[in-house]
Amino acid sequence: MALTYTMKGNFFNLYAHRFARVAVGVPRCRVADPAFNAAQTLDLARQAAAQGAALVAFPELGLSAYTCDDLFHQAALLEACERALGDIVAESAGLPAALIVGLPLRVNHSLFNCAVVVARGRILGVVPKTYLPNYGEFYEARQFTAGDATVATHVELAGQRAPFGPDQLFEVADVPGLRFHVEICEDVWVPIPPSSFAALAGASVLVNLSASNIVVGKSGYRHQLVSQQSARCLAAYLYTSAGRGESSTDLAWDGQSIIYENGELLAESGRFLDDSHLILADVDLERLSHERMRQTTFGQSVLRHKAETERFRTTAFEIGLAVDQPLALRRKVERFPYVPADRRRRDERCDEVYNIQVQALVQRLSAIGMDKVVIGVSGGLDSTHALLVCAKAMDRLNLPRANIIGVTMPGFATSGRTLQQARALMRVVGCTAMEIDIRPSCAQMLKDIGHPYASGQELYDITFENVQAGERTSHLFRLANFHNAIVIGTGDLSELALGWCTYGVGDHMSHYNVNASVPKTLITHLVRWVAETGKVGDGSQVLLDILGTEISPELVPGKTDGAPAQRTEQFIGPYELQDFNLYYILRYGFAPSKVAFLALAAWHDRERGDWPEEAHVPRNQYELAAIKRNLGIFVHRFFKTSQFKRSCVPNAPKVGSGGSLSPRGDWRAPSDSEEIVWKADLANVPDTPPDA
């Protein structure tokens, strides 16, 4: 009986893939006019719910306005705020979203600065502010009591009884993984924010209702604060602040709202806007869960702070969110996750990767006391980049580049183009260049093993190909013995993931591999970066020619020798798609159906305003059928057929946080596992989008 999995919800709905759309609203306000403020709040809440948001946060003391000062002790204002809250509670009954609003609230003869969580006509909890600023322009302790200074655990409000206190978590039961905590403004500015313990207690989304006046430089500091808190807590963080309408007696307000996820900015509002405004972002709850599971020190912190985490109470509720209709992902998904889209960051990344590889090779040569390397130079991308790394390593060691023994080894299928490129590259780099025709030795081996090719038959099977790959590697190792050198491997991360290498005595093996954790898409950019920055003098054109050459193993002869006859991507799929698949499966452990959903968001045929500046970057687009087909290739090769090659790879430096496939580093897996569960999940992916 075939194993199948049924996805919960529509494949084309972001909630089916454990995303949650969240929103931050900044309503236009009036000081001491709760009815007006509630109306503005509800208008934004309806907009957010109409766009599929499950959670909407509003500013601190938003129903009264933050700048009421001693008006907070006026009974008329406090009662008006409670009536305004009642209006919001009533209207929320028809909205499939949780709302978080701020207001002043009397409890046991004290006044608290509170956040109230409301959903489906219910008050789910009231959270008082813990830390009251009373310095600089702030005088909150004049009007309010700190939230941890009360013994009350519940409060009667708007005709309902609700939990009261800062020790609360809220779980949206029909959005798996959406458990949130609320703190207020200053709470996140202290050394240990309450949200730190809430995250350890299970909150995946942290919400801050803030007012926060604006002064020069404060906007940037807010970004730093929220970014770091979201990163340390491995959480999403929603931050809102007061905007137009707050009193300008002594202060100004910019209405800045921001949403971060694990240190990454997802959305930011404009500042100093005149009207009410709203930002939305799609938070990846599964990514956050995976990060907490992977980083075992997070679990250690939970245990270490058990006393603080055990005090939290959790209120579970449903918002009635419909997930049976398509809801497209708004989150920007980069097509090249290993390569930053921003040109400046991309240049920084290339420089850092290049130096990591160089430093690693310098250390290895220094440690073993050798000063020479042997490297096969094919005229293709991988060996080009590895040769450039070797050249820089020799420069760092103050050794002549002649200590690099570059060897090009034409075989039965070597094209004239790649052979000329290999020769030109070695000349430009200044290494010792050798050329060995492997056809005679390959012909002898084919004859020795009785292969039909030796008797004149045009049989170009795997044996025919691997004889050539093995001969090349055998020559490199014997040259290394002869010259007291080590063999430098050139195979990349993408090839290891797909098993696109000849095991053992083939391109699988070397003494040290500088490329093993660098994916093909990044190597492409690294070579171009070297060319564009002039790091090889007059050799830039050679590099550009290599970049323009079809990726090929060149092991099967073609009809002409002008260009490679084999095309690697015809067998294993486009590297740009397979690197995308590799990143999300290796780095985050996502199921194939979610990877396909993300790929559709990144690669589907639609207008995009984020094309890279360079004209050379292909503007490819992939329909869902192509995404699914190539993902199937990846799943089969990665999980079923290739692990035995990765279980015994040579030493190599880990380069990026996207991971490596070394059994001594990021990836340990059995060589005889099955692919069944991944294929079953892939079956949830439709063949066509809903509008096809």
- Residue type for 246, please? E
pLDDT of residue 94: 96
pLDDT of residue 614: 45
Is the CB of residue 624 less than 8 Å from the CB of residue 687? yes
Residue 618 predicted with pLDDT over 60: no
Separation in Å, CA 172 to CA 59, 96, 234, 237, 322: 21, 11, 19, 16, 13
Which residue among the candidates 60, 91, 246, 261 is catalytic per the annotation? 60
Mean pLDDT for the stretch of residues 211-236 = 94
How confident is residue 31, by pLDDT bands cut at 50, 70 and 90? very high
Residue 566 predicted with pLDDT over 90: no
Mean pLDDT for the stretch of residues 85-93 = 98
Q: Given the DSSP bridges, would you call strands 277-284 and 19-26 parallel, antiparallel or unpaired?
A: antiparallel
Question: pLDDT digit string (tens) for 341-379?
Answer: 888 898 999 999 999 999 999 999 999 999 999 999 999
Mean pLDDT for the stretch of residues 312-337 = 94
* Mean pLDDT score across all residues of the chain: 93
Q: Which residues of 213-223 are buried (b: 16+ CB within 10 A; e: fewer)?
A: bbeeeebeebb
pLDDT of residue 213: 86
> 247-256, 468-477, 590-599: lowest mean pLDDT where?
247-256
> Would residue 129 show up in a list of annotated catalytic residues for this protein?
yes
> Would residue 60 show up in a list of annotated catalytic residues for this protein?
yes
Which residue among the candidates 129, 372, 520, 628 is catalytic per the annotation? 129
Which residue among the candidates 29, 68, 114, 185 is catalytic per the annotation? 185
What lies within 8 Å, CB to CB, of 432 at 6+ separation is: 402, 403, 404, 405, 406
> Would residue 185 show up in a list of annotated catalytic residues for this protein?
yes
Q: Is 212 marked within a binding site?
A: yes
Q: Is 86 marked within a binding site?
A: no
> 74-78, 295-299, 655-659: lowest mean pLDDT where?
655-659
DSSP per residue, 605-665: SS--S---S-TTS------HHHHHHHHHHHHIIIIIISHHHHTTPPP-----TT----TTT
Residue 235 predicted with pLDDT over 50: yes
pLDDT of residue 610: 46
Unique residue bearing structure tokens 């509003």: 58
pLDDT of residue 360: 97
Helix (H), strand (E), coil (C) string for 88-144? HHHHHCCCCCEEEEEEEEEECCEEEEEEEEEECCEEEEEEECCCCCCCCCCCHHHHC
Q: Is 124 marked within a binding site?
A: no
How confident is residue 221, by pLDDT bands cut at 50, 70 and 90? very high
pLDDT of residue 613: 45
Q: Is 151 marked within a binding site?
A: no
Question: pLDDT digit string (tens) for 122-165?
Answer: 999 999 999 999 988 888 989 999 998 888 999 999 999 999 99
Q: Is 218 marked within a binding site?
A: yes
Q: Is 645 marked within a binding site?
A: yes
Q: Is 382 marked within a binding site?
A: yes
Is the CB of residue 115 less than 8 Å from the CB of residue 127? yes
Q: Is 490 marked within a binding site?
A: yes
Mean pLDDT for the stretch of residues 284-300 = 96
How confident is residue 611, by pLDDT bands cut at 50, 70 and 90? very low
pLDDT of residue 113: 97
Among 28, 35, 24, 36, CA closest to 275: 28
pLDDT of residue 608: 46
Residue 12 predicted with pLDDT over 70: yes
For residues 20 and 175, give the distance between their C-alpha atoms in angstroms, rounded to a whole number: 7
